[in-house]
Structure 1
Amino acid sequence: MTSKTNREQERAWNGDEGAYWARHHELFEGSLARYQPAFLAAAAIEPGHRVLDVGCGTGVTTRAAAAAAPAGHAVGVDLSSAMLDVARELAGRAGLANISFERADAQVHPFRSGAFDVVISRTGSMFFEGPRAAFANLCRGLAPGGRLVLLTWQQPGRQEWINEFARALTGRELPASAPGGPGPFSLSDPDEVRAVLGAAGFTGIELTAVSEAMNYGRTVGEAHEFLLGLLGWMLQGQDDARRAASAENLRRVLAGHATPDGVCFGSSAWLITARSG
C-alpha cells in the first residue's frame, strides 16, 4: 500500500481501532447477527467451494463459510493483526481445519487467478480506497462465473443507529458522505455500486434492500461503555462538562432502545450479488 489514504487505513485497523474491535469482538459480531442468515443464503456456499472473506475481522463469516464448505477451504484476509489473532483462536476452538487467515490488503494482494469460487465481505468492502481497482483484483481472483456477495450500508439517513448516536453525542446527525472514498457509506448508492462493479468486470449485479435491528449490548450499561469507547472521536473538542452531558445523553437514548433481546437500533443495508465475467 503506497497512498496516504491506504497508509492511514492500515494504521487505524492494525492499530488502536483494530485492537478495540478485537477486544470487543463478541459485541461487534453480535451487532450484525441478524443479517447473517440472508448473507449466507446469498453466498450459496457449496461443500467443495473455495471462499475468500474480505475484511474478515475476527472471522465470524469466515467460520460460517468453512462450516458450509467442509470439502473446500475458507480464507479470511484483514489488515488487523489483533483481529486475525482472535479469528485464529476462535477457529481453533471451533475445530475447523479447512480455514486460514492472512494479514493482507485485498485491494492489491496478488491472489492467484481463479483461486476462489466465492468472495464474500460483510461490511468490509466499503473501506477500499480505490474500489474499482480493488474489485477488479477480486474479480481476477474468482473462477469464471464465481460469485461475489457483499453486505454494505444504505445511505446514512436510513440508519437509525448512527444518527441516534450522533445526535446524542454531538447534537446533530452525521453529515452525508460522498460515495467513492473509504468509509462506511461509500457503497450506499446503488448506481455507484453498479458502475464500480461493472467497471471491475462483474456481471449480473443485483442489490436487495434488507433491514434488521442492530444489537449493541445485553444491557444499557454494556452498550454505553462499548459505544463511548467506539465513538469517542465524536466528543473531540468538547470540554469536560459537555462531554459528561453528551455521555448522559447517549445513556438516555440507549435506555429508550432497551428490549428483552438487548439494546437495539434500526439499520438498512444492501445485499449485493454479482458474478465474475
Structure 2
Amino acid sequence: MTQIVNTGQAEAWNGYEGTHWASNADRYDAVNSGYNQSILEAAALAPGDDVLDVGCGNGQLTRLAGAAIAPGSTLGIDLSAPMLATARARTAASTVQYVRGDAQVYPFEPASRDVVLSRFGVMFFADPVAAFANIRRALRPGGRMAFACLRGVAGTELGTVFEAMTRPLPPSELPTGTDGTGPTSLADPDRIRQVLTAAGFSNVRTQACDAEQIWGHDVADAAAFLGAWGPVRHQLSQVDAATAEAVTDALTEALRPFERDGAVRLRGGAWLVTAVTR
C-alpha cells in the first residue's frame, strides 16, 4: 500500500461504505451500469490500448474496458480493500489488474497508459488539481480521459426522492451537502474545466448524460437499500428515532411513482467528461 493523503475517504471506503458497496456489488452496478457504454464510447478504446480505471470499485467498468482493449492491459486503482477483493474475485483476464492506492499520489509509471476512465470515482479527491495532474502523468502524449461524475441531484428523479426524504430533517442535513463537496464536487462544468486545465489537460468537454438507475425490485426493497446507502444511513444516525422513521416513511412514499416493470427505476444525471493530454 502506498501513501494515502485522502485519509477521510480511505477510512470511509475501508469501513461501512466500502463493505456495503462490496457486499452489494450487483445492486450498485444496477444503479450505475447505464453509464458504462457512454464512458467506453467516449474513450474511443481500441485493441492494444493500455487503460487506467480510477476509483474502479468492484471493477465492472474495468473488466469491460479490459475486454474491449485486449491484448492491451487494464489497471484499476481504488482506496477500498473490500471492493478490490470483490473486483479481483470477479476478474478472470490476466491482462486486468488492480492496485490499492490513492490516485492523488500513487506512483504510476510515467507515460504508461493511453486512456484514463472513471465511473463516479473522481469526485472525492482531497486536492483535485493535484490528483488529476498525477493521473495525467500516467498518460502517454496524446492520451485521453473519459469519466462520468454527478451532475447534481436537483432536477433529477433521484433529486425528487431526496427532496421528499429530507423534509423531516433539519435544513443542513442533506445527503449530498449544499457546498458542492463530496459526490457533487464536480457538478459545475466550469469547475471541471478549471480543475482539468490546471492539471494539464486540454480540449476539456462536458456533456449531459442521463441513464436509468435501478434501485430495487419493488418500493420496499429500494427504500431499504437507499436507507442503508452510506450518506443516507449517516443522516439517519444523527437524528432521533421518530425523525428517522419519518424520513424512512417519506422515502418509501417518494419511491412509489417510480416502480414499474418489476423494478424501481430512477433517471439519474451525470456529466460525461472528456479531455486529452497537452
TM beyond 0.5: yes
**Corresponding residue for residue 217 of structure 2:** 218
Q: Please report how far the alpha carbon of residue 36 of structure 1 lies from its aligned counterpart in structure 2 after TM superposition.
A: 1.6
**Corresponding residue for residue 250 of structure 2:** 249
**Corresponding residue for residue 145 of structure 1:** 142
Q: Please report how far the alpha carbon of residue 169 of structure 1 lies from its aligned counterpart in structure 2 after TM superposition.
A: 4.5
Give matches, 1:1-277, under 5 Å: 1=3, 6-92=6-92, 96-171=93-168, 174=174, 177-179=178-180, 181=181, 183-230=182-229, 231-260=232-261, 262-277=263-278
RMSD: 1.8
Once the two structures are superposed, what CA deviation does each residue of 1:62-83 show, in whole Å capped at 9, x if it has no partner? 0001000111011111011000
Separation in 2, partners of 1:167, 1:45:
41
Identity %: 38
Once the two structures are superposed, what CA deviation does each residue of 1:192-213 show, in whole Å capped at 9, x if it has no partner? 1111101111011111111222
Once the two structures are superposed, what CA deviation does each residue of 1:177-233 show, in whole Å capped at 9, x if it has no partner? 334x5x111111111111110111101111111122221112223212211111212
Separation in 2, partners of 1:21, 1:170:
26
Letter in 1 for 2:127: G
Separation in 2, partners of 1:43, 1:16:
32
The normalised TM-score by structure 2 is 0.91
Would the aligned equivalents of 1:170 and 1:235 in 2 still touch at CA under 8 Å? Answer: no
Letter in 1 for 2:118: S
Letter in 2 for 1:76: G
Q: Please report how far the alpha carbon of residue 261 of structure 1 lies from its aligned counterpart in structure 2 after TM superposition.
A: 5.0
Separation in 1, partners of 2:121, 2:165:
26
Separation in 2, partners of 1:127, 1:100:
22
Would the aligned equivalents of 1:56 and 1:124 in 2 still touch at CA under 8 Å? Answer: yes
Once the two structures are superposed, what CA deviation does each residue of 1:95-133 show, in whole Å capped at 9, x if it has no partner? x22101110111100101101000001111001110001
Would the aligned equivalents of 2:164 and 2:254 in 1 still touch at CA under 8 Å? Answer: no
**Greater CA deviation, 158-167 or 106-115?**
158-167
Letter in 2 for 1:140: R
Separation in 2, partners of 1:233, 1:144:
43
186 and 249 in structure 1: CA distance in 2 versus 1, 3 angstrom threshold: same
Separation in 2, partners of 1:226, 1:152:
22
Separation in 2, partners of 1:22, 1:2:
21
Would the aligned equivalents of 2:218 and 2:262 in 1 still touch at CA under 8 Å? Answer: no
Once the two structures are superposed, what CA deviation does each residue of 1:156-176 show, in whole Å capped at 9, x if it has no partner? 323331451353254368475
Would the aligned equivalents of 2:4 and 2:101 in 1 still touch at CA under 8 Å? Answer: no
Letter in 2 for 1:243: A
Would the aligned equivalents of 1:123 and 1:153 in 2 still touch at CA under 8 Å? Answer: yes
Aligned residues: 270
